[in-house]
Each structure stands twice: as C-alpha cells, then as structure tokens.
Chain A
Amino acid sequence: AQRVTQPEKLLSVFKGAPVELKCNYSYSGSPELFWYVQYSRQRLQLLLRHISRESIKGFTADLNKGETSFHLKKPFAQEEDSAMYYCALGGPGAYSGAGSYQLTFGKGTKLSVIP
C-alpha cells in the first residue's frame, strides 16, 4: 500500500536559517513524488516534482530510494515561505499520464518562518 509520512506537524525556523521538511514514503514500485504548498487562504499548488530535478523558490528535493525519502530543503528560509507543505506520492504513470494521476498525500507540515 502507498503511504506518505511527514513526521513534523509544525516546523519553526528563523529567517535565513536552513529548512528541511521531511518526507518518507512506502511504495512497492517506482515512485513519483511531489511537494505541494498551500499558502494561507490559497489553493494547493505544485511546488516541485522529483522527476524534474528542479529548484523552485530556492527549494530542492532529492529522491533517496535507499532511505525511501524525499525531503524538501532550502538553505535560507524567507518569511514568505511560511505555509503548509504536503508531500505526495503518485502511483505508476502519475507523472507521465499513463496512469490515473492519483496522489497519496502526507499529513502536511506547517512551516513557520520567524522574522
């Protein structure tokens, strides 16, 4: 069964400090992993996906299959980074379109950046 674990409900860091939001997953096949962000009073939006190996708003995430992790990192936190962050796991074809695009979400981590 697919499962996504985000162990921290709340993470508070000072502005300028490094940020790491943890995400571990359980999946028997080849995972497709995503990070979604939800700013206050806004809809959920895609932050980044592992297959793109991109950096968005200074955030990066590396898929570690050995540790079944997909932690989200940013070297220097900004106040505007304060939001809810959800790690999500897609089944086969979730990214390529061959599958059903179903996502399993973690419970989310609320990041609070202290000025």
Chain B
Amino acid sequence: GAVVSQHPSRVICKSGTSVKIECRSLDFQATTMFWYRQFPKQSLMLMATSNEGSKATYEQGVEKDKFLINHASLTLSTLTVTSAHPEDSSFYICSAPTGWGNTIYFGEGSWLTVV
C-alpha cells in the first residue's frame, strides 16, 4: 500500500536554531500534503496544507514565518521550524492523499524536542 515517510523520527535541537522535517510519499505522487502537530494527550491539530508548486495554506494561529513549508516536488514536503523555542516541542505528523477518492496516509511522525 501507499507509504508516507517522515525523517527524522526524533530530533533534539537547541533553542534559537532551526530544524527541518521531511515528509515523503514513497510510491505515489502527492500534490497536497498536510502537516499536523500533536501535543501530549491532545488531538492532532492541522497546521498547514502544503501545495506542490505554490504557497502553503496555514491554519489560523499558525505563524507562517516560524513554520516554513516547502513542497519541493510531488513526493516531498518539508517543514522547517525556525528559531525554535521549547514550546515548539511536539509531535509533528504529515499526511498525504493518494489521489482522487483515495485514502489519506500518514507518516510515522517526528518528535521534536527543543532544549
């Protein structure tokens, strides 16, 4: 079946630095990918919709300058957390629909810890 892969699965970074998380669709092309954030014991919250060839669409309250999204190709979207703060520590998950009328597949998630 379709696979969405995220890398890295875990990352620790220092406050003030930037960290990039990749989301790849391994056996299908995804013109759209979604980035979610999940705090402990809370639900997945949609952060932004990544669109290949155009700007990402951010949800209300999500800082576009802090969470940079680049949909570089039909199989890759990246989320860069810039000037990271400890409160950015969270579980970040991407998802991608496989196409018309098909299922949405999720990546395995990436744990970000900002120290």
Contact = CB atoms under 8 A, between A and B. Distances in A.
B97 A44 contact: no
Chain B interface, >50% SS class: strand
Contacts, number: 50
Chain A interface, >50% SS class: loop
A43 B108 CA distance: 4
A36 B104 CA distance: 10
A100 B107 contact: no
Interface in A97-113: 97, 100-108
Nearest to B103: A46
B101 interface: yes
B34 interface: yes
B108 A103 contact: no
A45 interface: yes
A86 B104 CA distance: 14
Contacts of B107: 43
A95 interface: yes
Interface residues on B, range: 20 to 34
A92 to B, nearest CB: 14
B54 interface: no
A104 B103 contact: no
Contact of B43 (A45, A96, A102, A108): A108
Contact of A101 (B34, B41, B108, B109): B34
Contacts of B76: none
B81 to A, nearest CB: 20
A47 B34 CA distance: 19
Contacts of B49: 100, 102
A42 B105 CA distance: 13
B84 to A, nearest CB: 24
Interface of B: 32, 34, 36, 41-46, 49, 93, 95, 97, 99-109
Closest 7 CB pairs of A and B: A97-B100, A44-B106, A107-B43, A43-B108, A101-B97, A105-B44, A105-B43
27 contacts: A9-B41, A36-B106, A43-B93, A43-B107, A44-B44, A44-B93, A44-B95, A44-B106, A45-B105, A45-B106, A46-B103, A86-B43, A95-B101, A96-B101, A97-B99, A97-B100, A97-B101, A101-B32, A101-B97, A102-B46, A102-B49, A103-B34, A104-B46, A105-B36, A105-B44, A105-B45, A107-B43
